[in-house]
Amino acid sequence: MNHMKPAFSLCVYCGSRPGTLPEYAAAAVQVGTWIGQHQGQLVYGGGNNGLMGIVAQATQDAGGRVVGIIPHALAEKEFARHACDELHVVDNMHQRKHMMAESADAFLALPGGIGTFEELFEVWTWRQLGFHNKPIGLLNVAHYYDGLWQFLQSTVHQGFLSEGQMAFIHASKEADELLPRLVQAAGLAQSDGLQQI
């Protein structure tokens, strides 16, 4: 078990399936490896399947800490990852999401399904309501989120979303560019130091 005090804590939302393109798994490995190499901590949904298991394994392989948070009802369905440095089995999804948010300095969404979308939109809503002031990232791997981003831009044009609300999301296709930006936006690293990472 890794008992180090992490330099930062990044909550990653991602699919419990691997998806159809190899780029998705590669991005999960890249994100987990970056977290571990920079003495960070991954906070995630505690599953061992799909991109969830991949990012957790990559983080630990690179020396990072992994905190998994999973409800009882999903512990068997998503094959809870007992190799986590901390695994919290909670009563329901509300507790899971609250604990994940409380444990994180920043948030990142990788490709995923309805659960990933819901978590991203909820933490984004909390940000615009002032419930937290933590940066939120969207990693647009292999153009996965192109359609969503175009739709969100259309909601701005239709008057239901503001440019200010859109600005709460740091979107990029490059993990190596986005991850340092999130850590810096969380106030946990100076830009000079990040350039050396």
Cβ neighbors of 54 (< 8 A, separation 6 or more) are 18, 25, 28, 29, 32
Sign of the torsion formed by the C-alpha atoms of 97, 98, 104 and 109: positive
- Inter-residue contact 103 to 68 (CB < 8 Å): no
* C-beta neighbour count of 82 within 10 angstroms: 10
Tell me what percent of the residues of the chain surpass a pLDDT of 90: 89
46-70 residue pLDDT tens: 999 999 999 999 999 999 999 999 9
What domains can be seen in the chain, in order of their start residue? 9-162+169-187 (3.40.50.450)
Whether the model pTM is above 0.85: yes
Cβ neighbors of 127 (< 8 A, separation 6 or more) are 133, 134, 136, 168
Q: Is the pLDDT of residue 141 over 60?
A: yes
**Which tokens hold the place of 196?**
């050396």
What is the spatial distance between Cα 180 and Cα 99, in angstroms, rounded to a whole number? 23
Q: Is the pLDDT of residue 126 over 50?
A: yes
Q: How confident is the model at residue 189 (pLDDT cuts 50, 70, 90)?
A: low
pLDDT value of residue 130: 96
Nearest to residue 44, comparing CAs of 19, 17, 80? 80
**Which tokens hold the place of 30?**
């890249």
